[in-house]
Structure 1
Amino acid sequence: MHLVQKRNQSGVTFMKKRMTTAILSLALLAAGCSSSAGTGTSTGEAPKTGGGGSEKKAEQPAAAKVSSEPVELVVFSSSGDSLESFNERFGNAIAKKFPNYKINYIRNEKGKTLPELLAAGQVIDIYFDSIRVFIGSLQYDMQLDMDDLVKSHNVDLSNLEPTALDGMRKLSGGKLWGIPVTNSNMALYYNKDIFNKFGVPLPKDGMTWDEVLDLSKKLTRFEDGKQFLGLGVATTQMLSMTQQSLPIVDPKSGKSSLSDDRWKKMYSTLYEEPAKPQGYREYMKTIKGNIPNVDEFHNKQNLGMLVYLSSYFQVNAKELKGVNWDMVSVPTFKDMPGVGVQPYPGYFSVTKQSKHKDDAMEVIKYLISDEVQMQLSKTGTMSALKTDAVKKAFGEQSEYKDHNLKAVYFNKFAEMSQKTKYDNALQDAYFAPMKQVASGDVDINTALRQAEEVANKKLDEEKKK
């Protein structure tokens, strides 16, 4: 469309006859309107935020140059996924679609961490990671604004989960440093045997935190020489997925956001209240003051409920075989009905250093296709698409397909908070109050005040680097 517009502009410049000029001017106006309306829908591009200033006229990106010759594409993720796992989810599909591409997947391990690879001069073509880990890669200056590639390759972004796409726009100041290929949510997993043992009604979709805390109290007890615990909530991941869409760094002040009372509500509801029944805090002392988590759920099997990532049943499928479990939607706050946690996307990006940017873009374009996303969904990987058919197929081929896997789609996603390159550096400061209020060692007001001081000091240090 932009090419049509340029040709029309050139014609108007050199035509001398008034009638012809008038006709071409009208045609130019129509073409311009058509181009303006079509740009957003053809790529599904979200409105860019940040940057400010006057808008510049968009330039036509260079035409895509996809190779028909053999090409090696180096793919890296800090996730530590095995080659088998990578191939099962992505590699096999890529090899079948692009027989001339050799995919060299480098697993994150000792001697092959991201900083070690880059220091050795290794060029990475495609980098992918979850949003939290992706933030940590920003210090290595690999990010490329992929908007021009999206346009030149006619990539349709309109079917992607909008909260996941908007989250990347926020992180990159309106640019597009990565495209969501997978997604993740949280769910409440529960042990049926523990509920049945104590005659407590099983959880159901749509419960509030207050209702779940009531169940937790009934399950936290010492019986048959064993300490049973009602509820454990994921810690590290929750910092990136708060239901109130809380940022780590306040966008307005540039300081820690811990003075926001919503943090206090989150820490109290998710970590302080579950630990109040007798026996819970005594048990925490036996695990070095940590919050009961997956070890208590699938190994020791003394945890009745666990709020954890929706990928838990897939990643830990083997461990869960010995547990009589099921799942329901993540609890919600009473004043935020139907609002779950923020999405936890896995972003794929073409790096700035890649010499095969067009080929890498073709791979990512294929990975967000209905074909690949449908297969991912069927096997239990949460899709990056918002398409109903793909959501409906979730877990159809999973060994746990008879479980309530659709619970991951019960609530709507919370809006993704503003992420910054400093978030990971402040993680320990935000993590500390979780353990402190759960153990009862420090009152919640003191814990948050101390954490805010530590966070701001660390933030100042990071900004000076």
Structure 2
Amino acid sequence: MKWTGYVSALAATMVVLAGCGGGNGGQPEGSGQATGGETKKGETSVPQRPARSGPLEITMYSAGAAVTQEGFNDMYGDALRKKFPDVKFTFIPKAKGSEIQDLVTSGTTVDVIFDSIGYQATLKNLDLQTDLTPLIKNFNLDLNKFEQTTIDYQRNNGNGSIRGLPVWTATAGLYYNKDIFDKFGVAYPKDGMTWSELLELSKKLTRQDGGIQYVGFVTSQASQATTNQLGLKFIDPKTGKTQLESDGWKKVLNTLVPFYQIPGPVWDSNTIAVAAQRAMFEKDRTAAMYTNYSGGTPPADMNWDIVSVPYYDEAKGVGAQSYPAYLSISRMSKNPNLAFEVIEFLVSEPYQLENTQKGRATVLNNPDILKQYGANDAKFKGKNIAAMFPPKRAVLGDYTPEDTAASAQFSNAFNAVVIGHKDVNTALREAAEAADKAIEALRAAKK
């Protein structure tokens, strides 16, 4: 098998959203009512905590993202060393010579791997992750405390096994520049709007003033598709072919394109780029609204606020998909029990509260923690924080290289309609054909 070429393809095609973890020595948290290994009816005893074995050392690695030592300390290291003063923690930054395949080849021991959902396919392909199900049962960890789409994703992609637990996730919302609304005397957006309502609001703000072209709304078409609220998948699991010509994807494209057909702005290959659109909102301050799906926030000097991402008429109340980071235990680990203690702590309420206050959103179904999002950062003071956390999230899609290839073709279809003035059906048909060819090439690389 062409492992090196395929792993490189996996990394290159990994979906990256713009803008984008031990033991307490006491009783395990959780009610014990719904764990990875549910207790039998009438059973009330708590399983004995597994004993540590091996050296009190844990090595952690970020497989996909280039995390610095300082970034690791801020996210995990400082909290872990405080919680486990008797454990030696080492972090291996991703760099030339320390890619995940380099570590596998050299036999370097890694205990805990952390990274976004976009890199899970790579880890699965390399068979690096331990099934956490027995450890979840032995440590009596309650899986019901998590936002369930993040757990369902693991079960669905692991044939019932759980090879990672979520540690934090990106927020999503519709940010808006109050100054532009005030300038034109337009009422601010509201929580619970639909995409059709947002389109009408955008029309009121797309205008020229003083020789400046203002735009009502911009977005990342790729991120919006990847985290779509309809729970659409790019690839049909039965046929292995792309589903870009389905009614669902036509719905997404027909919802997105009209914002770019409002008279006034001129869209071309430069202005339609995601970075350029974001600059319209954050730097140029000519875009009134922007949907962000990666947890990023507007500049501190902008007079901004946020409301929920608009809903589809047929899926009211369903927010964008989560984009979680996961913690996995490497099959190379010599001390999986200690490694799980580390994970257990990082998904505990105390750590999740601390991390959420820093602006990395909790993956727990705990409203008291959600309310504390960004509490330690002045830029969130007075903001509509609740809008970032939908009451219900769409089912997570897949993040294989094949899905990423299809996602790229969806963006091409969007560009073909907006810039090339093709109709939606033609653009999606051509995109589906191109995606299927790319998928065949990726699958051939596995052989």
TM (norm. structure 2) is 0.84
Question: d(CA) in 1 for partners of 2:76 and 2:236?
Answer: 36
Question: d(CA) in 2 for partners of 1:390 and 1:39?
Answer: 18
Counterpart in 2 of 1:294?
278
CA contact (8 A) 1:378 1:394 kept: yes
What one-letter code is carried by the residue in structure 1 that aligns with 2:184?
Answer: F
Of 196, 209, 214, 1:223 maps to 209
Of 234, 238, 263, 1:278 maps to 263
Max radius of gyration: which structure?
A: 1
Question: d(CA) in 2 for partners of 1:289 and 1:70?
Answer: 48
| Aligned-pair CA distance for 1:285 | 4.4
Counterpart in 1 of 2:138?
152
Question: d(CA) in 1 for partners of 2:237 and 2:307?
Answer: 34
For 1:320, what is the secondary structure of its paired residue?
coil
CA contact (8 A) 2:58 2:112 kept: no
Counterpart in 1 of 2:332?
353
CA contact (8 A) 1:206 1:410 kept: no
| Aligned-pair CA distance for 1:173 | 1.5
Change (3 A) 1:285 1:432: closer
Question: d(CA) in 1 for partners of 2:305 and 2:169?
Answer: 21
Which moves more between the two structures, 410-419 or 212-221? Answer: 410-419
Counterpart in 2 of 1:377?
356
The Cα offsets for residues 376-412 of structure 1, whole Å up to 9 and x where unpaired, read as: 2222221110022222222322222211111112442
The Cα offsets for residues 19-47 of structure 1, whole Å up to 9 and x where unpaired, read as: xxxxxxxxxxxxxxxxxxx998352569x
Matched, 1:71 2:57: yes
What one-letter code is carried by the residue in structure 1 that aligns with 2:223?
Answer: Q
Alignment length (residue pairs): 407
What one-letter code is carried by the residue in structure 1 that aligns with 2:312?
Answer: F
CA contact (8 A) 1:163 1:413 kept: yes
Change (3 A) 1:355 1:424: farther
Counterpart in 2 of 1:84?
70
CA contact (8 A) 1:227 1:283 kept: no
Structure number having the greater helix percentage: 1
Change (3 A) 1:392 1:345: same
Question: d(CA) in 1 for partners of 2:400 and 2:160?
Answer: 13
Change (3 A) 1:422 1:461: same
What one-letter code is carried by the residue in structure 2 that aligns with 1:262?
Answer: G
Change (3 A) 1:440 1:247: same
Counterpart in 2 of 1:167?
153
Of 305, 313, 320, 2:289 maps to 305
Matched, 1:430 2:410: yes
Question: d(CA) in 2 for partners of 1:335 and 1:254?
Answer: 27
Counterpart in 2 of 1:245?
231
Question: d(CA) in 1 for partners of 2:276 and 2:186?
Answer: 20
Counterpart in 2 of 1:338?
317
Counterpart in 2 of 1:462?
442
The Cα offsets for residues 198-237 of structure 1, whole Å up to 9 and x where unpaired, read as: 2211111111101111111122223223222211122333
| Aligned-pair CA distance for 1:357 | 1.6
TM (norm. structure 1) is 0.81
CA contact (8 A) 2:230 2:394 kept: yes
Identical aligned pairs, as a percentage? Answer: 34
| Aligned-pair CA distance for 1:302 | 1.5
- Larger relative contact order (C-alpha < 8 A, sep ≥ 6)? 2
Change (3 A) 1:401 1:105: farther
For 1:135, what is the secondary structure of its paired residue?
helix
| Aligned-pair CA distance for 1:110 | 4.1
The Cα offsets for residues 271-314 of structure 1, whole Å up to 9 and x where unpaired, read as: x111002233x24444365575322221222211111126212x
What one-letter code is carried by the residue in structure 1 that aligns with 2:384?
Answer: N
| Aligned-pair CA distance for 1:427 | 3.3
Matched, 1:387 2:387: no
Q: What value does the CA root-mean-square deviation take over the aligned residues?
A: 2.6
Change (3 A) 1:446 1:250: same
Change (3 A) 1:289 1:156: closer
Counterpart in 2 of 1:183?
169
Change (3 A) 1:372 1:290: closer
Structure 1: any 5+ residue segments left out of the alignment?
1-37, 47-60, 314-318
| Aligned-pair CA distance for 1:86 | 2.5
| Aligned-pair CA distance for 1:418 | 5.2
| Aligned-pair CA distance for 1:151 | 1.8
Question: d(CA) in 2 for partners of 1:117 and 1:227?
Answer: 51
Counterpart in 1 of 2:33?
41
Question: d(CA) in 1 for partners of 2:110 and 2:64?
Answer: 12
Counterpart in 2 of 1:236?
222
